[in-house]
Chain A
Amino acid sequence: MLVSNQFGISAWHPAVALGYFAAVLAIGFVVDNPLFQVLGVVGAAALLLVLDGVRAARLVAGALGLAVLVALVNPLFNTRGETVLFTWWGGRPYTLEALVAGVSTALMLAQTLLWFASLSLVLTPDKLMVLFGRWAPSLTLVLTLSLRLVTSLRRKVARVAQARAGVGLGGGASLGLRVREGGLVLGSVTAAAFEDGVITADSMKSRGFGLPGRTCYQVVRFRGADGLLAGIVAALAAVVLAAAALGALAVSFFPEVVFAPVGSLSVCAGICYWLLICTPLAWQGAGVIRWRSIASSI
């Protein structure tokens, strides 16, 4: 396990982590100011790299490549804007404003992609169960059972195909034979799954499933630090979203790119956004440093 998974956002209470991702995603959607968006992309990429190491580098590169493509392609379809950079295809204008609007869309896209990649690493299925188990226990259980079913089916298909190959069955060359063989394997696996399903149902019934007043086990505790974090995240996000709502971060792209005047509110929002983005990274860094000092004394 990477060291990062013990200290950073992965160690937060799932509710706080979910809140954090909700906040940064909301800001990513609402704020279309490219300066803020660059901050967002940098933050999202940094978090993903910290969480997943070099493996994430390809995803980050891919997201940035996609962003560049989207930005460059946008002016081909959108010809609004006053500053014509050049014309093409018989006088079709390629404008600066459309390019900037494209960059904004592209940054939003890249940011969303990267935040979601981190989210899927942090909020694993068992954490989702912690989150939603309390509110919708039956629904969560159905989800859990289906998750189990999918993994076990995959394993069983391989096992049946292997068993059949072991007695010389299923080596058909033609498409028809292969389709038939696939059907037989699936049929066998389904029959076994039904059989096992009866046992699972018995096992659930035997342990009192369906009795009234079901509760939910919380494997993660909500600690003081989680409360503090929740407060910090909420406050920082609130400032940025309020500034956005008041128009301090507004940009209009057409006919000319016009940024809202820089004022104390927008500066304040910028600082808060930067802090918000740095929070999980800082938490992680502090954790690692603290761990090193603890580890050195062990």
Chain B
Amino acid sequence: MAALRDVTFEVSSGSFTVLAGASGCGKTTLLRLMKSALAPHGALEGGVFFDGRLLGEVPACEQAARIGFVMQIPEAQLVSTTVWHELAFGLENLGVAPAEMRLRVAEMAGFFGIEPWFRRSADELSGGQKQLLNLAAVMAMHPDVLLLDEPTAQLDPIAASDFLGAVAKINRELGCTVVMAEHRLDEVFPLADQVIVLDEGQLVAQGEPRRVTQALWEQGSALAPSLPAPAQVALAVEGDGGRELPLTVREGRGWLRDRLGEETRSVEGAAITSPESCCGALSAEAANKADTDGAPCSSERPKAVRGRSDASSCDSVMLAEGVRTASDKAALELTDLWFRYDREEGDVLRGASLTVPAGSLFALMGGNGAGKSTLLRLATGSLCPYRGQVNVLGAKVGGRRGRAVPGVALLPQDPRSLFAHDTVARELEEMRLVWETAKAPAAEEPTGKASKVTLMLGGKVLREASEATSAPSGGAAWEAYRQAIAVQCGIESLMESHPFDLSGGEQQRVALAKVLLARPRLLLLDEPTKSLDGARKESLAELLRSLTAQGITVLMVSHDVEFCARHADRVALLFDGEIVSEGASLTFFAANSFYTTAANRMSRGLLPDCITVDDVVRGCGEGRTS
């Protein structure tokens, strides 16, 4: 089957083009065809034209200089041990004279703000800095066209925004043509002049970002949940929308204000003349809130607002109680943890306390270096705090060099670090011993629930495997269990593949299956959504939901605000080695003003307590009906 079929498009000089599409739709193949040195082998029909010439006729040295390429994994693209040599590497290859090279390297270091770490070793840099260095190293060669293949896939959201900001600056200030494959559509759509959408190797939409957004929405594309939240709201509320489609939070707020204003225009005059509401921003906000509810009289406003917030806090209490009734005990209890890696180094955790209720999907958020991954490793027992106590599944974790606690399994950030065999089947088979040792404590449990494995996907019971713990046919039980997990993770068809040949999403599912075979009752996930596109995130969420429905507790460390807002039961924020805020996901995000979803930032002060796109759409609907 052809990786690309009948794809025709044009990129005008100095423009910013975004290539969108689900993983494996042919974005990488298409980008690589635009540079001969990286073009994949295979049969090619048609041609790529660069500057009016067939690409094959453009000499290698000209292509090296004029077409820059940045790939996904920051670390692997680096060639040199030092930052300055990395910047100079391309220029050395081109044979640029030392004096000119010095100038160009200096210019690029200045442009990207690399000067402070110019003489550092490349190993000391963070992932975001490494990727910025890769970009700068390519830009030092003064390319006319910059090709980027999902450059932010391995970065956390803050580093990703910085990187995209740098790309936008290159496009805007240097006039460099940019073609970028990216799945953070909400961040790149506002920057783009042109969006090209691929699906299974075919071009399904093309054009100006607002038009493409609308087209994708109308097609019901799998990319729809990844579109900018303001646009999703506008499209859900107004269909085609007579107004210009909002793409950014700022435009979204304007749109929402217009929308709410239209409906309450009749009462606005009264609101302005009333004495309480014309004294500053606070009252203006109150007026807005009241407008939402469509309360015409100022004396009734506070009541109306209180009524709504009461209702929402009631919701969250119910949610919390729901969790509590699901199980009365905590799966993980961390009490006043203090930890440092080395006697000479500073504290990573300073009195962190956290309780994860059993059976919940708990998200732990926080910036880089806040100690999130360290906290996970403490929960597995592979690290020990120097002060404080870790209780896992009701048992105290102790001992100096602690061994892995039974019943706990950790999915690492890079799924590849779990792979050690040449087929997926063997990867899973390796877990058999762990599975067997994990069986004993499960059998001792008084409840009959644990002796039966119920596999559910999306609320449906897929399969019930009787474990027959005492039965002699342990092999059959293992086979059944393994098969069931493989089905649940959707990897049955990959059994004979080499794990390193799989795509990122597939690798993650295989790693997750491997982790699940350890039969964890507490599953720890380190940045599970890092390199997944929108559709893959949804299927991961579904999988996690089916796990919590089986009574497995999931604690995930994540940067992904949107994902946590939509799917987590409870969320905690780790900052500077301490938990600074914790609560049910709704109350948590409603209380934050920056560390929250785009939908919340868009509706803040205009509609109360809206976290997701659906909330805002519902809010607009209520505004209309009242």
Contact = CB atoms under 8 A, between A and B. Distances in A.
Interface of A: 125-126, 129, 137, 141, 144-145, 147-148, 151-152, 156, 159-160, 162-169, 171, 184-185, 187-188, 191-192, 195-197, 199-200, 202-219
B412 A159 contact: yes
A167 B526 CA distance: 13
Contacts of A169: 430-431, 434
A167 B519 CA distance: 9
Nearest to A159: B417
Contacts of A159: 412, 414, 417
A66 to B, nearest CB: 30
Contact of A168 (B37, B102, B438): B438
Given A141-B79, A168-B438, A208-B93, 13 more contacts: A144-B85, A162-B377, A163-B417, A165-B380, A166-B409, A166-B410, A188-B416, A200-B79, A203-B77, A204-B89, A207-B79, A208-B141, A215-B96
B500 A206 contact: no
B77 A208 contact: no
Interface string B71-103: 101011111111011001111111111100110
Contact of B85 (A208, A215, A217): A217
Contacts of A211: 60-61, 64, 93-95
Contacts of B84: 126, 217, 219
Taking each of B89, B93, B377, B514, which has the highest tally of chain A beta carbons within 10 Å of its own beta carbon? Answer: B93
A46 B119 CA distance: 28
Given A166-B410, A214-B95, A217-B84, A207 B75 contact: no
A214 B420 CA distance: 40
Interface string B401-415: 001101001111010
Interface string B435-469: 00110000000000000000000000000000000
11 contacts: A144-B80, A148-B81, A162-B412, A164-B420, A167-B518, A196-B73, A200-B79, A205-B38, A207-B89, A208-B64, A211-B60
Nearest to A155: B123
Residue among A166, A169, A199 with max Cβ neighbours from chain B (10 Å): A166
Contacts of B16: none
B79 A192 contact: no
A203 B419 CA distance: 25
A206 B138 CA distance: 9
A295 B79 CA distance: 38
Contact of A125 (B68, B78, B81, B434): B81
A199 B71 contact: yes
B137 interface: yes
B75 A196 contact: yes
Given A165-B404, A211-B64, A217 B75 contact: no
Given A166-B404, A168-B406, A213-B95, A204 B79 contact: yes
A192 B81 contact: no
B418 interface: yes
Nearest to A200: B76
B37 A206 contact: yes
A208 B61 contact: yes
Interface string B107-123: 00000000000010011
B352 interface: no
Nearest to A198: B76
Given A164-B420, A166-B404, A207-B64, A126 B500 contact: no
Contacts of B229: none
Given A144-B79, A163-B418, A208-B64, A215 B92 contact: yes
B382 to A, nearest CB: 5
B35 interface: yes
A143 B178 CA distance: 34
B290 interface: no
B271 interface: no
A141 to B, nearest CB: 8
Nearest to A212: B95
Contacts of A212: 95
A208 B60 contact: yes
A187 B92 contact: no
B55 to A, nearest CB: 14
Interface string B386-426: 00000000000000000110100111101011111100000
A123 to B, nearest CB: 14
B98 A168 contact: no
Given A167-B431, A171-B404, A207 B141 contact: yes
A117 to B, nearest CB: 21
In order of increasing CB-CB distance, the 5 nearest A-B pairs are A208-B64, A217-B88, A166-B410, A213-B95, A207-B90
B105 A217 contact: yes
Contact of A206 (B38, B417, B437): B38
A145 B80 CA distance: 7
A5 B4 CA distance: 56
B515 interface: yes
B65 interface: yes
B69 interface: yes
A80 B102 CA distance: 62
A144 B89 CA distance: 12
A226 B518 CA distance: 64
A210 B60 CA distance: 10
Contacts of A213: 95
A143 to B, nearest CB: 9
A126 B404 contact: no
A204 B134 CA distance: 11
Interface centre among B65, B75, B406, B438 (most CB of A within 10 A): B75
A275 to B, nearest CB: 32
B417 A144 contact: no
Contacts of B71: 199, 202-203
Q: Report which residue of B61, B79, B90, B410 has the largest number of chain A beta carbons within 10 angstroms of its beta carbon.
A: B79
A145 B417 CA distance: 22
Contacts of B382: 162, 165-166
Interface in B15-39: 35, 37-38
Contacts of A197: 76
Given A166-B404, A171-B404, A195 B500 contact: yes
B417 A160 contact: yes
Nearest to B99: A218
A163 B507 CA distance: 15
Contacts of B500: 191-192, 195
Contacts of B518: 167-168
B434 A148 contact: no
Contacts of A166: 377, 380, 382, 404, 409-412, 524
A80 B449 CA distance: 90
A268 B91 CA distance: 50
A185 B420 contact: yes
Nearest to B434: A168
A160 B420 contact: yes
B138 A218 contact: no
B69 A206 contact: yes
A165 B69 CA distance: 37
Interface string B221-262: 000000000000000000000000000000000000000000
A128 to B, nearest CB: 11
Contacts of A137: 92
